[in-house]
Amino acid sequence: MRQDPAHQSGPAGPLPRLAAELRAAPPSLGPVRLVAVDGHAGSGKTTFAGRLAEALGGAPVLHLDDLASHEELFAWTARLRTQVLAPFSRGEEARYRPYDWRRRAFGPARPLPAAPVVLIEGVGAGRRAVRPVLARLLWMDVPALTAHLRGERRDGPEQAAFWRGWVPAERRHFASDPSRPFADTLVRHGAAEPALLSGPGRGHLDRRAGDRG
């Protein structure tokens, strides 16, 4: 797997270079460049999305854990469409109701601005139903077993039952609706900075951009 020339380390570093590339991309949904950060649970999506948002000058981040629920781990597409994608397509601020995993209920609405770049991060962020409106699909390139072990250590024994249910559910999701084959960029953890590599779906990115041009 070759390193993408646009993401090679240099004076600015890979994240500022990626941020500049995202800002320069054509909008993918209304005025928004919607960027997905996908990968297995425990692969570092939330941390990477936070760092990328910072490199973008404080870009909004939607965590898909806020749209999922205990009963619907992956059946959040309709909520994403109605609460976020539809308003963005009209150039309007989105309002979504985050799920409270302790109370097991959706809470009051939160605003999500239709900023020039908006990140959505979570398992399945690059799913089939969302890809047509993405400006970029980033995949955290960590093997499933490694990621899951990290996640289980992070969450501790009190979440062991959740992980026993999550792992087979995630396996079923990616078996029927894989994201990695369509990823434009693969993100691999480095000692100081992530390595950003051209993904297997880089050609899909070029075609999507051409369709919107």
74-130 pLDDT tens trace: 999 999 999 999 999 999 999 999 999 999 999 999 999 999 999 999 999 999 999
Architecture of domain 5-212: 3-Layer(aba) Sandwich (3.40)
For residue 207, the model assigns a pLDDT of 55
Q: Where are the beta strands (DSSP E) in the chain?
A: 33-38, 61-63, 94-96, 99-100, 105-106, 110-112, 117-121, 136-140, 185-188, 195-198
Q: Percent of the chain scored above 70 by pLDDT?
A: 90
**Averaged pLDDT, 54-79:** 97
Residue with more model confidence, 4 or 162: 162
Look up residue 108 and give its amino acid: P
**199-213: per-residue pLDDT in tens?**
999 866 555 555 555
Q: Looking at residue 191, what is its pLDDT?
A: 81
pLDDT at 137 over 50: yes
pLDDT at 11 over 70: no
- Per-residue pLDDT, 209: 55
Residue type, 160: A
168-175: long-range pairs with CB below 8 Å, 24+: 169/73, 169/74, 170/40, 170/41, 170/123, 170/144, 171/144, 173/74, 173/123, 173/124
Spatial CB neighbours of 3, under 8 Å, sequence gap ≥ 6: 195, 196, 197, 198
